[in-house]
Chain A
């Protein structure tokens, strides 16, 4: 089964070491995610594309305990088979905090400050039978 990204331009794919694609303000160095053209910090109008770090620390988290509404959600919304998933902000040193799914959904195993690494996870199957993938962060073993 072929794998396709949920969207182009948000993370590098295909890649052995996928990275999120962000922007950096040319004037003040502020980082943004996803890519945008203007800087909310200094109101600068010029930004450049930058790849974000793959490792960071968990700044906060929750667990999505019920199926999100579809649309917009592309994943499993059947209450019988839906599996809760973690959601958190991961602080990428020197750059930004990014929001992402987490591969861990057990409140006992999620701790603020723990080391996390970016991975790619399956989300759904599209009409052509491709596996749609998105980005997530996993605890570093």
Chain B
């Protein structure tokens, strides 16, 4: 029997744009806040896994936090960087090597759509030169096909954005805190059909840190430990449809989200029906819709009725992206997956303030997805 793991401290630096503060410094602030939340001193932390996509090597932050000699391992895994840091920290405690550690993610990106390094992504220069290396195009094409197959309406995409910005308006850490209507979302600039400006998240800035401990020692740090029942990362299999793919196979296979979701439920010994609240990757409005089904929370097409009925609102039957998701928080790649876990910890502790879900949540779910076809899932409980 492996050691159980609890999250005993959480810290976050505000998402959005913070002029004059580097991504690394935002990570440092998140670490200090997490330590304060757990009542832990930095010198008590035995190990760290951390990463950013565009804001430097995480392990260099020890020069600001204190040179304690701890084991610090950098993680670089694209959009799953934060999830991978958490996965690694989780398994380090489960294995019994250490009792107390930290997972850190932070980032700071330039404005505008992500600039894809085609060579770094294993693609020829012709691909970007020809105007194909845009992640936004994939999202437009995936949801366009999905709408065609399963009858999802443009209105439903607009409603996802409306919900995200409304939830963001109740989140003091969020970037976008001004509510918008479904119609405003639908009428905003068309970036990549059928997705408009307000249906896409933007690359941004922010940092998140999570302190993990052996569950049997969690009471030393908190009276509200949140248990990590599963943490899974999966890459794509043959036949799946992924971002930045010059071609895809004729035969269809479910993507890494389906695989990581199934594995996480198996690991936790529960099913989708046991989840009270979920934070699902919403790089754009359509992604949230598709990921509801890919993670097993409904049948394909059923989202149309669920979203139109308000089921995924904070007060609905199945609240999704209660902190405003990527749409309202932006996407600092290294921190994004950990933000979801941060939100679930707040919700499970009953500390989410104005956006606290009223269903007394006991089990919570997070899901990230990103290039080049990678997904990470966690399941938390109290």
Chain A residues with CB under 8 Å of chain B are: 6-7, 10, 22, 30, 32-34, 40-41, 59-66, 68-69, 71-75, 85, 87-89, 91, 94-101, 107, 112, 123, 132, 134-135
The answer to whether A97 and B247 touch across the interface, beta carbons within 8 angstroms, is yes
Whether the Cβ atoms of A7 and B126 lie closer than 8 Å is yes
Of the candidates B112, B137, B194, the one whose C-beta lies within 8 Å of that of A87 is B137
Contact A123 B129 (CB under 8 A): yes
| CB closest chain-A residue, reference B110 | A69
Given contacts A62-B140, A63-B192, A112-B145, contact A87 B247 (CB under 8 A): no
Nearest 5 CB-CB pairings of A with B: A72-B128, A62-B140, A7-B126, A60-B145, A74-B129
Question: Please, which residue of chain A has its CB at the minimum distance from the CB of B144?
Answer: A60
Asked, given contacts A32-B247, A75-B131, whether A62 binds B137 with beta carbons under 8 Å apart, the answer is yes
Q: Report Cα–Cα, A94/B115, bound state, in Å.
A: 34
Residues on B with beta carbons closer than 8 Å to the beta carbon of A96: 247-250
B129 touches A87 (CB 8 A): no
Q: A60-B148, A75-B130, A85-B131 are in contact. List 4 more A-B contacts (CB 8 A).
A: A62-B193, A62-B195, A68-B113, A74-B130
Quick check: is B74 within 8 A (CB to CB) of the other chain? no
Residues of B in contact (CB 8 Å), total 38
Nearest Cβ in chain B — how far from A121, in angstroms? 9
Point out the residues of chain A lying under 8 angstroms from B247, CB to CB.
22, 32-34, 96-99
For A66, list chain B residues within 8 Å (CB): 113, 189, 191
Nearest-neighbor residue (CB-CB) of A123 within chain B: B130
Contact across chains for A6 and B140 when beta carbons are under 8 A apart: no
- With A and B bound together, what is the CA distance between A136 and B180 in angstroms? 37
A89: chain B residues at CB < 8 Å are 141, 248
Contact A6 B192 (CB under 8 A): no
The CA of A94 and the CA of B245, in the complex, are separated in Å by: 19
Complex Cα distance A126/B239, Å?
Answer: 37
Interface status of B21 (Cβ within 8 A of chain A): no
Do A65 and B128 contact each other (CB < 8 Å), given the known contacts A34-B246, A60-B142, A60-B144? no
Q: Which of A41, A61, A101 contacts B249 (CB 8 A)?
A: A41
Chain A residues within an 8 Å CB radius of B263: none
B140 shortest CB reach to chain A, Å:
3
* B129 partner residues in chain A, CB cutoff 8 A: 6-7, 71-75, 123, 132, 134
